[in-house]
Homo-oligomer: A and B are copies of this chain.
């Protein structure tokens, strides 16, 4: 393979992008950019996988397992290899020496080839993501395709930059000794992976949340075992397959990337997480299991993204309509099933100021409800935005939410003509009282202080903007947050919100009224999470995300 000629320019552009944080992506967002036959080819490739055995030719396969059912209804009927870990894990370590010797640049370029081949099959991946996550097609295409590939490439760029901070080649070190001869040594520095890295995938964003850890670990010299969510195996199985093909063609051991599909109820993640061979774990999912991993997987570096409670503070705006439509989109996209979707919209009880005069709390709540209702009034647009509920737990939470308070906007059932089996629901908006006496209470915690994952939002009446900031601070500190949004025309308030976010380590979007939404981040420029509050112990992507996935081993010799 002509890895350098093909991919070095892309790597250099990625390195430049993470340095400048300007907009950049080599992966087109538009489905038409992939060629005329790509849509049909991608669909056909996906359909061909259904009802088949997905063989990866991995060592130590002791059975077959599967059972994915699309949130849109159909069973996928795909079987994946089930691993005998006592055979698979040693086999994965076998190729580590050659992978280490390849060095950071070759490892990066091999990763870029994997990503390039995934990119070429973006339409196929889009169907795989859609029918495991329940995302609508275009979102599955973009978030599961180019945006996920961007995050993978970003991790490769960080990994390359971090590993090459220290020169690998021999360094001639000479220390003057006055009139005596200098002390002289020859030194080499080798980046060495830590051991097998485990990626524990999630249901909602199998590729987007899986790629950063996968590529960061692989690029830093570690074999990677991918343990997908049992309901979202296919996108990561496809990824593993592509990786194994590229590794083989590049002359490396394909077992550097393997899949660990599990039998129903097996809980293989827990078994794997404490195996001594596993030295790195990337996890996206519930706080309970994330905390379990951090407590118990002590032999590993553990990177977790867990639950959080995302807040939007509404103080004032000079574009009331823009604010409402921006928020309505954020609450609706993928039925609020994003870790970045706002949950609590804090509004002063006495209302807010806007360019068209003051608006009371009730008016803002009603206008936001109307904006969401309007956005999703048309079923075709609603389906294109909402996708399907990913699992019955989300629907149960949605059903329960309307009991929590006065409902500003009822959830509505939407029929998907293409997939009658899909469960599609518009968001519910519930009004809650956020008076300080409630959230200061030691008796019981208000509902809005827990994550209610799915299409559920709370418009919370607070006594003042100052109280909103204190509630924001408490929420981020105790519950964590992937995102914070705020609307204000006051410089002083803006500064106060920034201070809370700086002090509590939360990523802030201010006064978004156009086509950028608080729940979306752009790789190479925006950080996803901060790593500094309970929602996640790592950010995508920064130096800390990659720097402890390898160690630098020095050998020094008498010169």
Q: Which residues of A contact B (CB under 8 A)?
A: 18-23, 30, 97, 100, 161-162, 165-167, 171-178, 183, 185, 187, 189-190, 192, 194, 294-295, 298, 498-499, 501-503, 505-516, 522, 525-527, 530-532, 539, 542-544, 547-548, 551-558
Contact = CB atoms under 8 A, between A and B. Distances in A.
A508 B166 CA distance: 16
A166 to B, nearest CB: 7
B22 A173 contact: yes
A525 B555 contact: no
A505 B171 contact: no
A494 B553 CA distance: 15
A522 B173 CA distance: 10
Copies of this protein in the complex: 2
Given A20-B167, A167-B20, A558 B189 contact: no
A501 B553 contact: yes
B508 A553 contact: yes
Contacts of A161: 165
A242 to B, nearest CB: 27
A515 B547 contact: no
Contacts of A557: 509-511
Given A19-B165, A294-B298, A542-B166, A171 B525 contact: yes
Contacts of A548: 531, 544, 548
B553 A22 contact: no
The DSSP consensus for interface residues of chain A is: mixed
A552 B525 contact: no
B171 A553 contact: no
A547 B541 CA distance: 12
Contacts of A511: 557-558
Contact of A192 (B165, B167, B505): B505
Contact of A190 (B172, B174, B502): B502
Given A20-B171, A510-B555, A531-B548, 12 more contacts: A18-B165, A22-B171, A161-B165, A162-B543, A165-B542, A194-B505, A507-B554, A508-B554, A527-B554, A530-B553, A532-B553, A543-B547
A522 B171 CA distance: 13
A558 B510 CA distance: 7
A510 B176 CA distance: 21
Given A171-B20, A556-B510, A557-B510, A530 B505 contact: no
